[in-house]
A and B are shown apart, each in its own frame.
Chain A
């Protein structure tokens, strides 16, 4: 796959934050490498279209970046929606995924060992 035409600027046709009710900041730290996990038995609750879209992509363990790519939304917009859904108990988050402090020494050693044996 050749390098993407990354410097092709495209004006965005819609204001992304219309989707989030104008809010730009999620209440959880949700980064592209944060892992979300769908509950196997989602709570029976009425949710909106945004939430249904997220739930449809969250039937296992998946990163924010992957979900954003599948939904065609910026990670920053998904973060606002997903954050509310975590608060509502609709989806879960892996607390050790992409922490602000970075990986522990022990984790890095596991990563190195695995890379050396790929």
Chain B
């Protein structure tokens, strides 16, 4: 591990000049923060953004459209990889209604790790749809294998999620640091192939 400043982990080493980010996306409760906590050198931190959305499903009879302001939390962590490079992992809800929040994050990202729970495969459809239609980010599907979840062959997952043959699928226990690091390495290898 590289040393940081005397403030412990508060600051990065002064030699760090470059940051790379990877998005960890997936539906609620799929284990994004768990994965980030498994690999981060700092306790996962949280920032909150307010987003303003037009209310859905309400007849607009008044002159001013109804809007709601909501707060969305984003958890993140970091790994200092070399003297000069820090990797940031941002856990973001990937659903359509949060697009404004994570569109800025997607710009310049190395790629996205899509966490999937096999008990709730359908919850991943919208996230994958957003990634495919609204970004050109390389992504890897990581199955967060819960103990009581049914186990599928990667080909079954590929068919169920309608993934391209090129999209890597890895099995990854979000609590296991080594498994998470391997999943991230798979994503970066895939990103290198696609450019």
Q: Which residues of A contact B (CB under 8 A)?
A: 1-4, 6-7, 9-12, 16, 31-35, 37, 59-63, 65-66, 68-70, 73-76, 94, 96-103, 105, 107-112, 114-116, 118
Contact = CB atoms under 8 A, between A and B. Distances in A.
A99 B108 contact: yes
Interface stretch (B14-22, B125-133, B153-161): B14-22
B181 interface: yes
Contacts, number: 166
Interface string B40-80: 00111111111000000000000000000111111110110
Interface of B: 5, 7, 10-14, 16-21, 28-34, 37, 42-50, 69-76, 78-79, 81-82, 85-88, 90, 93, 104-105, 107-110, 181, 184-185, 188-189, 191-192, 195
B11 A33 contact: no
Contacts of B13: 61
A2 B29 CA distance: 8
A60 B43 CA distance: 19
Nearest to A31: B104
Contact of A102 (B11, B69, B110): B110
A35 B85 contact: no
Interface centre among B5, B45, B79, B184 (most CB of A within 10 A): B45
A97 B188 CA distance: 17
5 contacts: A9-B70, A61-B14, A65-B76, A94-B16, A98-B108
Interface centre among B17, B50, B76, B105 (most CB of A within 10 A): B50
Nearest to B9: A66
Given A2-B33, A11-B70, A108 B47 contact: no
A4 B10 contact: no
A68 B70 CA distance: 18
A97 B87 CA distance: 10
Given A32-B88, A99-B108, A111 B195 contact: no
Closest 7 CB pairs of A and B: A60-B11, A114-B81, A69-B45, A97-B19, A33-B21, A115-B185, A61-B12
Given A100-B107, A114-B82, A3 B19 contact: no
A75 B14 CA distance: 22
Contact of B105 (A31, A69, A70): A31
Contacts of A68: 47
Given A1-B44, A12-B69, A61-B14, 13 more contacts: A2-B33, A4-B46, A7-B93, A59-B11, A60-B5, A61-B16, A69-B45, A70-B45, A73-B47, A97-B18, A110-B81, A114-B82, A115-B188
